[in-house]
Structure 1
Amino acid sequence: MIDAILMLHILAGFAALANAGLALGTTKGGLAHRRAGQGYVLAMLVVTLTTFPLVYIRPSLFLLVIAVFSFYLVFTGWRAGVLRDGRPRWGDHLAGGVMALTGVVMLVLGATGLQDGGAQPITLMVFGAIGLTLALSDWRDWATGPVTGKPRIARHLTRMLAGSIATVTATLAVNVTFLPQLVIWLGPTALITPVIFWWNARILRPAQTH
């Protein structure tokens, strides 16, 4: 049984990676882009759900909170894409609450594990800070009104690209052994985050008038 779950987990991970690449390589807003995005979200849902029995059999709080963090990014990115009115529903608030709590847990685990060294404590603190900040920023933005227009598109882009970082990171963590663990876990974030900021700046830039 566990072998079947593990195989499903791996296949879903590859499907997520493939669909993320398709979504990035197709015209934004087009049918192919939307279909690839839907496939990516579904694949990441399967990855997340299969993580629970896997960590039950082989307990790893680290992998559990990383899975929650990764799916939060994908879920909120997808929601930003489909909620054109920009008004959050109960599921969006629930996701924010789960991520805020998970972010605090990640920060505590990371801080208490620093004395043991290794890449996991630093990874937990970085990802925990990112997740907690994003969850709190969601509530801040919603408090000022619906997130629509360019800010909604920027949110969709940011979260989906961040979710793609998580997918790439997980792939590297499983398949790459010749690099230091800290480089594997945080390298994709360090490389792709500047691209996210640059892309957001382009989206949010005021339209030029002639």
Structure 2
Amino acid sequence: MAGMLALASGAVAMAVLKGGSLHRKAGRIFVGAMWFMSAIGAGMAAVSDKRGTVVTVLAGLLTFYLVSTALLTMRRPVQEAREWITGFMMMGLSVGVSAFGLGLAALSGVGGRLDGLPPALYFVFGFVALSAALLDARMLAVGSIDGVHRLARHIWRMEFAMFIATASFFLGQAKQFPEPIRKSGLLAIPVLMVVLHLAYWLVRVLIKRRNLATAARSNTRE
């Protein structure tokens, strides 16, 4: 139920006008659903002896971290949220280091796998977590974040969390769908749409940043 709510509210937040009332409402529902789903999922996986649960713990913790920091970015200035940002940064570092350690263990494991999964998957989670944590550290060192960077930070963290949710539901649980749908390739479409949407908005924000910088230089010369 929480997973479906997260996917539905996330899709609405992606589709409607950014910053509008509906976007904010859908975003709040998405965050709440993702908090619940990632925390419960990671907790249940941590005490389970089933195969493939290690990466579920990593995915849950990473999702919780990304959603929390994305929300915090839009809610409070850096100086007011320094303690929270620091705490979440440490969480991101822990996930990243653990994921890389597991990836290395997979490389030397039987068949080049760990818990039935290839090392590349662990390295991807590790790279994302460590990159996000390093960006947190940079923001804390600067003590502030401007409008364009603030928006980009919010977008990529929320949408990567949405990517994890869609990939987990449509690809991770593909066996729950009828065989004709699995073989058609349709299950990959929602995941691809999230990736394309993320790329579109990041490019758009970066172009806006470049245009603002160009305008500022022109005004300085005048």
> Could you tell me the TM-score, scaled by structure 2's length?
0.77
Query: Residue 94 of structure 2: which of 94, 97, 101 is its match?
Result: 101
Determine if the alignment matches structure 1 residue 204 to structure 2 residue 202: no
The sequence identity of aligned pairs, in percent, is: 24
Give the residue type in structure 2 aligned to 1:160. M
Counterpart amino acid of residue 151 in structure 1: H
Distance change >3 Å, CA 29–CA 191, structure 1 → 2: closer
8 Å contact from structure 1 (residues 86, 152) kept in 2: no
Matches within 5 A, 1:62-141: 62-83=55-76, 85-87=77-79, 88-115=81-108, 116-117=111-112, 119-141=117-139
Is 2:14 the counterpart of 1:24? yes
Q: Which residue of 2 aligns with 1:6?
A: none
Q: Residue 164 of structure 2 corresponds to which residue in structure 1?
A: 166
Alpha carbons of structure 1 residues 189 and 31: separation in structure 2 relative to 1, 3 Å: closer
Instruction: Give the CA deviation at 1:56.
Output: 4.3
CA contact (8 A) 1:76 1:92 kept: yes
Unaligned runs of at least 5 residues, structure 2: 176-181
Q: Are the counterparts in 1 of residues 3 and 34 from structure 2 also a CA contact under 8 Å? A: yes
Secondary structure at the counterpart of residue 27 of structure 1: coil
What is the alpha-carbon root mean square deviation over aligned residues? 2.6
Counterparts in 2 of 1:189 and 1:112: CA distance versus 1, 3 Å: farther
Q: Tell me the SS of whatever aligns to 2:143.
A: coil
Equivalent pairs, count: 194
**Map 1:148-187 → 2, pairs under 5 A:** 148-177=146-175, 178=182
Q: Tell whether the 8 Å contact from 1:169 to 1:188 is kept in structure 2 after alignment.
A: no
Identify if the C-alpha distance between structure 1 residues 202 and 176 changes in structure 2 by more than 3 Å, giving closer, same or farther: farther
Q: Give the letter aligned to residue 202 of structure 1.
A: I
Unaligned runs of 5+ in 1: 1-10
- Rg comparison, structure with higher value: 2
| Residues in 2 aligned to 1:166 and 1:51: alpha-carbon distance in whole angstroms | 13
1:190–1:104 distance in 2 versus 1, CA, 3 Å: farther
Task: Give the SS at the match of 1:28.
Answer: coil
In structure 1, C-alpha distance between the alignment counterparts of 2:199 and 2:89, rounded to whole Å: 24
Is 2:45 aligned against 1:55? yes
Large movers: runs of 4+ above 6 Å = none
